[in-house]
């Protein structure tokens, strides 16, 4: 008879207002700088992990499609970190992983953050590991850096840390602290040419990365202060600065990475115009052409139709601050 242990977890995606770009240790994913993000309510991954005594290899599916090759190895390696911690039988078993996103792949919303946060929590629970939120965040980080920030809820800071245990994310304000809305303007659903893991490895080839990293603590402190004070003007200034600096690194590395499309720049101009006209909106862009437009609560209804009216906008998705990763079964 087959014996197994199973758990299911849900984690939200997140949008960084101070970006993670570049590692000081690639294999441990110890970041070059601290970062800040907001979890995205309603944009999540649900993952079940079942450790079984009858499997010879780990198996995984995402949205019903089997995962193979490199992506399966990444999941397997991640499960190994958790299996190593388990002092019990299931720690020796292979697992069946089933993951589902409630947003379409390539929707311009990072899936590795919610995916590795949900995977970490589901696997730790199935193995009966009693981990603190901090420990779980560090472990999620090993799978995907930004996943460390999807473990705690609301507004989150990921501390750089010089060791595995010291590099974790924690919440500094709950989701209801400030009802910021992320309007994600989708201009392309194509798979990105250079994924973030590859991109992080190139950050050091930009002659500007040292300056970016040196100035990061100041931007981080300004961003955290702005969020705590609910000061949108201050937030807008530092969020756009930080996104622009990261894209400066991307564009000046070897090989250079240019994630923007003409529509991306169109949105950046629109957002600047709207803010000059008094609307509380600012932009931030990850490793892709889609634009996250952060709005204060009173600006959402006016900004959304303006975005939809731009040529080349496929869709605008809306998300508010979300909670922590949770076990659902
Ligand atoms: C541009 O966390 O996706 O979105 O650790 O290789 O999985 P890996 O990278 P990932 O990098 C995110 C990069 C970013 C900025 C951010 O979210 O901080």
Q: Quick one: average pLDDT of 263-283?
A: 98
* Cβ(133)–Cβ(117) below 8 Å: no
Q: pLDDT tens digits for 144-198?
A: 999 999 999 999 999 999 999 999 999 999 999 999 999 999 998 887 778 899 9
Of 171, 170, 298, 305, nearest to 232 by C-alpha is 298
Q: Give the pLDDT confidence of 60-84 residue by residue, as tens digits.
A: 999 999 999 999 999 999 999 999 9
Calculate Rg over the CA atoms of the chain: 19
Q: What is the pLDDT of residues 287-327, one digit of tens each?
A: 999 999 999 999 999 999 999 999 999 999 999 999 999 99
Q: Name the residue of 19, 78, 196, 290 whose CB sits within 8 Å of the most ligand 1 atoms, as the mutation to test its pocket.
A: 196
* Ligand 1 pocket residue status of 108, Cβ below 6 Å: no
For residue 146 and ligand 1, the question of a CB distance below 6 A is answered with: yes
Output the residue whose Cα is nearest ligand 1's atom 8.
144
Q: Does residue 317's CB lie within 6 angstroms of at least one atom of ligand 1?
A: no
pLDDT band at 282 (very low <50, low <70, confident <90, very high): very high
**Cβ contact 2:52 at 8 Å:** yes
Q: Are 21 and 245 in contact (CB under 8 A)?
A: no
**pLDDT tens digits along 76-114:** 999 999 999 998 888 999 999 999 999 876 656 668 999
49 bridge partner residues: 7, 97
State if residue 110 touches ligand 1 by the CB under 6 angstroms criterion.
yes
Supply the pLDDT for residue 108. 61
pLDDT of residue 103: 82
> 200 CA distance to ligand 1 centroid (A)?
8
Ligand 1 contact, 200 CB (< 6 A): yes
Closest-CA residue, ligand 1 atom 1, reads: 286
Give the residue ranges of DSSP H helices in 176-231.
Answer: 196-202, 209-229
Write the CB contacts of 211 (distance below 8 Å, at least 6 apart in sequence). none
Ligand 1 touching residue 35 (CB < 6 A): yes
Please confirm whether the linkage preceding 265 is cis (ω < 30° from 0). Answer: no
The pair phi, psi for residue 162, each rounded to 5°, is -95, -10
Ligand 1 center to 177 CA (angstroms): 25
Which ligand 1 atom sits closest to the C-alpha of 15? 17
């Amino acid at each position: 008879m087959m014996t197994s242990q199973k758990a299911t977890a849900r984690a939200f995606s997140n949008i960084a207002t101070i970006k993670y770009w570049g590692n000081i240790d690639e294999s441990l994913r110890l970041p070059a700088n601290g970062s800040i993000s907001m979890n995205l309510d309603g944009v999540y991954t649900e993952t079940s992990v079942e450790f079984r005594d009858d499997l010879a290899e780990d198996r995984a599916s995402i949205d019903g499609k089997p995962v193979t090759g490199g992506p399966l190895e990444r999941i397997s390696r991640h499960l190994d970190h958790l299996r190593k911690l388990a002092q019990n039988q299931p720690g020796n078993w292979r697992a069946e992983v089933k993951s589902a996103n409630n947003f379409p792949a390539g929707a311009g919303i990072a899936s590795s953050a919610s995916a590795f946060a949900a995977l970490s929590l589901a696997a730790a629970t199935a193995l009966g590991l009693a981990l603190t939120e901090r420990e779980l965040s560090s472990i999620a980080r090993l799978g995907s850096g930004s996943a460390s920030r999807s473990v705690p809820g609301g507004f989150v800071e990921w501390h750089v840390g010089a060791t595995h245990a010291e590099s974790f994310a924690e919440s500094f304000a709950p989701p209801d602290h400030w009802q910021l809305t992320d309007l994600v303007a989708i201009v392309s659903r194509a798979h990105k040419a250079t994924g973030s893991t590859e991109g992080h490895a190139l950050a050091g080839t930009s002659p500007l990365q040292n300056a970016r990293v040196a100035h990061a603590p100041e931007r981080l402190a300004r961003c955290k202060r702005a969020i705590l004070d609910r000061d949108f003007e201050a937030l807008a200034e530092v969020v756009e600065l930080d996104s622009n600096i990261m894209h400066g690194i991307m564009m000046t590395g070897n090989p250079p990475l240019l994630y923007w499309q003409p529509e991306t720049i169109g949105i950046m101009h629109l957002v600047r115009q709207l803010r000059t006209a008094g609307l509380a909106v600012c932009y931030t862009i990850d490793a892709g052409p889609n634009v996250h437009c952060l709005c204060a609560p009173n600006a959402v209804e006016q900004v959304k139709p303006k975005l939809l009216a731009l040529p080349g906008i496929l869709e605008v998705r809306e998300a508010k601050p979300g909670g922590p990763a949770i076990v659902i079964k």
